[in-house]
Structure formats: C-alpha cells, structure tokens
Homo-oligomer: A and B are copies of this chain.
Amino acid sequence: RQRITIDREIEQIVFGGVGGSAIAADVIIDWLIDRLKIPAVVVRDARLPRFVNKTTLVVALSYSGETTETLSLYKAARSRDCLAFAISTGGRLIDLCRRYERPFLAIRPSVSPRSALYQMVSACSIVLKEAGLTGRLLPAVGEAAKEVSVLRRHYTSTNDSSGNKAKQFAYSLKDNLPVVYALQRMGCVARRFKNQLNENSKIPAKFDLLPESGHNEIEAWHEANDLTPVLIRDSGESAFESKIMDGFRSTIKEATKTEALDVLIRSKSRLGALLCPIFFLDYVSIYLAFLRGVDPTPTALIKDFRKSIS
C-alpha cells in the first residue's frame, strides 16, 4: 500500500470493475448516498465515459487483477491523466501500478471474488478517505462488520431449518424465478442477491428498482406466473417509501393473488442496513444451491466467457 498524493480538485468518482469486484462500489455509493458531494458512478466496461479527465478519481477494482475490461479501463485512466488507484489481490493490475509508480491497495485472497466483498468495501473506504473526499470511514466499516458477524449464528448450516430463516427463505424460492425489487438506495442488495443466485445457485433471477418498476414492470403481473417477487425492505424507509413498497405489493397481490416475500434485517448503522441483508441473502443463495443439488463454488461458464474475450 502506498499513500495517494492529492495534487488537484476531484470532481467525479468512477469505480471501474465487473462482477463480484464491482458490487463493492455499489455498496459504497448506496452507503454514502447522502454524503458524497460529487457524482460517483460504476463503469462495468472497458471504456471510460467521455467526461472522465484529470479531475476524476478512478478506482479500478479487480479481485484477480487479470480482468480484461478493468485492465483496459485502468490504462485508459492513466492516459487521461486521472487520479488512478487500483484494488486487487495481485495480477497484471498490480504489476501495472508498480511499473507506473501509481498507488494500489493489495487485498488478501479469499475463496472467490464474490466472497471478498467486505475487504473490497474496506479498501474503497480507505481510498475515498485518502483522496480527501470523506472523513474516516473505516470505523463505520468495522461497526457494520460486527453487526454482520452476530448474524452468523442464526444462519449457519449447523442451525436447522426450523430456526434458520435463511434456509426457510431458500425453500420458498425453490420452484420459481426470483424477481427482486428495492429502492435505489438499497439497490446494491438487490443486485448482489441476483448475482449470487446466478453464481451460487446457478439459476436465472432478475432485479429492478422501485418506484420505477411501478411505472412499467407492474404490467407483467396480470396473471400468476412462475416468478416470486421479493421486496428488499429497510427499517429507515420514509412514509412515502413505505407507500411505494406497499402499493407495489398490493397491486401484485390484487392482480395475481401472489404474496411478495419481504426481506427486512434490522441494523444500527446505514452500512449495516446494506451488509446485513446481503449477508443473509448470500446464505440463502448457497442453501438454494444445495436444495437444487448443485455445488455453489465453481463458476465454469464465467471462466469460459472470460477466456473467450481475453
């Protein structure tokens, strides 16, 4: 780890990455939605948007350090003279940083890219603080981690179905395609769950945001179909936000008699409100894999795809 030297005014933040690495950036953006004073976006692509220039902080996230798109994006950031920073376990991305004498943060290898979420979030927090864009964030990350670790005993595999809400939830998703809805500021939870259902459970799933889905997607709910709606709730919902969630739920129910499943994990902190349901739903996706008789760990098709574009 090297310190960043801040020699300019930062006007935008671009997190660059794909898959399990990019989701950490979504968590950061949803967490700091009311605190970041400049626009922050996640670019899941090899190309940088037109607006990116030397006033942009670019944070390249690649667990493996070998992701084709993220390597291209990092090189593009360097050629536009951005304040570029990399987060990775190693690979060519860190080699580039060393060669260019640019700052990076090396994280410890985990079981898989998707299980390194907590480390990736911590690393992003350090970068934002060092770039002078926020105060210290790590204490809050530590607090949220404590909240999450308390949940483990509820959801762990040795805890049988009768007292294990994660196992119960997986069972209720067994036969249908899950459709996950969340408000924008809980969007990372919905996206992460959808991706974990793909990667761990090996099933299709979709997520969408509210209130937007009430203005188009709701028309797909004229009849009961093979989909199960899941609503990501939040104990910090405003009266208007609760009205959105309840209105969406009751419109579906009146049209199809389908009851949406709620996910609501209470937490003390804003980051905990994101990481606690993510932790719960990570377990759900793994139990759903076991219910389907598949091994959640290998990701053969992702490997095939990555090979085809490298």
- Say whether A251 contacts B301, CB under 8 Å: yes
Report the bound CA distance from A34 to B215 in whole Å: 30
- Say whether A244 contacts B309, CB under 8 Å: yes
The interface residues of chain B lying within 8 Å CB-to-CB of A40 are: 51
The interface residues of chain B lying within 8 Å CB-to-CB of A39 are: 12, 39, 41, 49, 51
Name which of A145-153, A206-214, A269-277 contacts chain B: A206-214
Q: Which of A1-48 contact B (CB under 8 A)?
A: 11-12, 18-20, 22, 33-41, 44-47
The 8 Å CB contact of A202, one of B45, B205, B219, is: B219
**A33, A50, A219 pick with most chain B CB within 10 angstroms:** A219
Report the bound CA distance from A179 to B255 in whole Å: 24
- Say whether B33 contacts A215, CB under 8 Å: no
- Say whether A220 contacts B243, CB under 8 Å: no
Closest to A216 in B: B195
- Give residues in A with beta carbon < 8 Å to B: 11-12, 18-20, 22, 33-41, 44-47, 49-51, 67, 69, 177, 179, 183-184, 195, 197-199, 202-206, 209, 211-212, 214-222, 225-227, 240, 243-244, 246-248, 250-251, 254-255, 294, 299, 301-302, 304-306, 308-309
